[in-house]
Amino acid sequence: MQKIISCLLLMTISLASYAQEKTFAVLGKVIDSASRQPLSGASAYCQNTTHGTITNNEGLFFMRLSNGGYDLVISYTGYEKRLIRISNNQARPDTLQIELVKQDKSLSEVAVVASNEVPDGLAKYGSFFTEHFIGTTPNAAQCFIRNPEALRFFYTKKRNRLKVTAKEDLIIVNNALGYTIRYQLDSFSYDYNTNISQYTGYPFFIETDTTETVKENWKKNRARTYLGSRLHFMRTLYDSTVIDEGFVIEKMGDDTKDNKGIVIEHPYSEDLYEVDSNNVFINWKGRYRITYKKVLPDKKFLLEFKLPADLRSQVTLLDIADGFVIEENGYFYEQYEVINTGYWAWKKLAELLPYDYEYE
């Protein structure tokens, strides 16, 4: 009996040690930059994850995260928010000292007076914004913004451009995947001359609590959404399984009208792929076509873009300025250096999965 107890104890210690190796801790202190006083109740969360908390009376917060990279967002009412890149591969102080600067109210008031805000913007542009922000996929049909009155719409006739901001965090309910997303929208813009939309912001995911039957359905929907996604691609590219997982990578020519590509059969050659301290450097530059063959493209996508109904692959084009770095959880940077069009661009917020999502 004593031997059995000893073995069980050793197994427990080993499992705990293994769990510790797969995670890392973040301890931070949030203070006012001028007074140096702690800010109690400040929000601290890793964007595009389910990990978040608030600071205590001493301005302290603590989180334990799975290995990988994250954008840590620190915000407090009346202060400018801070964005800090963190990773288990970084050397960090025992406690992150995070200083927040008070917002200049006079500048924001001037901006409001000089704006081109549309008085009936929600009625005029609300549906258009939803289509280009949440999407038009089957998942998007099961999403809605709980507080659309927070949106503000600005139209510039001279530039023929629509801009959308929010007075508070948008609360987006995704009944297809089982998440409520709290989204700090910095801005959304749509250029009517080029038909290109862009948006920046910071999503935080909250798991929806419901019955086990519904959760099982969400689990299947999440798995279907994950396969072939950008998150799936980045994770498999990181761990050297991208070809085995069903992706085909082609290097395209500089001529955008040329549809011919050269298949990259060895994406892990030294000139394209470099590992340093668990970070993976992808030395790509130019245009690439990513094809995923294991899941058919959605019929709605084919109809929307007038593509052949018998198309058997999901196809995305990447324009890469100068390479990028991937972390273990699929997080990569600099994200603005990688522009995607095609299937991944069609799958907008309604298809977004958090970085702590695990495919089973």
DSSP 8-state code for residue 347: S
In this prediction, residue 273 carries a pLDDT of 96
pLDDT tens, position by position, 48-81: 999 999 999 999 999 999 999 999 999 999 999 9
How many CB atoms are closer than 10 A to CB 15? 10
DSSP state of 327: -
Instruction: Look at residue 83 in the predicted model and tell me its pLDDT.
Output: 96
Question: Mean pLDDT over residues 235-250, rounded?
Answer: 96
User: pLDDT value at position 20?
Assistant: 52
- Could you report the per-residue pLDDT of 271-286, keeping only the tens digit for each? 999 998 778 999 999 9
Q: What is the pLDDT of residue 113?
A: 47
Question: What does the buried/exposed string (b/e) look like for 271-310 if buried means 16 or more CB atoms within 10 Å of the residue's CB?
Answer: ebbeeeeebbebebeebbbbbbeebebbeebeeeeeeeee
Residue 312: band (very low, low, confident or very high) from pLDDT cuts 50, 70, 90: very high
Predicted confidence (pLDDT) at residue 5 exceeds the cutoff of 90: no
Is 23:92 a contact under the CB 8 Å cutoff?
A: no
Return d(Cα 168, Cα 290) in angstroms, integer.
37
pLDDT at 140 over 80: yes
Tokens linked to 99: 């200083």
- Structure tokens of 63? 């989180």
- Residue 249's DSSP bridge partners are 290
Query: 135 with 348: CB under 8 angstroms?
Result: yes
Smallest Cα–Cα separation from 71: which of 329, 294, 260?
A: 329
Residue-wise pLDDT for 84-114, tens only, equals 999 998 877 789 999 999 998 655 544 544 5
Distance CA 166, CA 150 (A): 5
> Which one has a higher pLDDT value, 105 or 123?
123
> Average pLDDT, stretch 296-315?
94
What is the reported pLDDT for 271? Answer: 94
pLDDT above 70 covers a percentage of the chain that reads 91
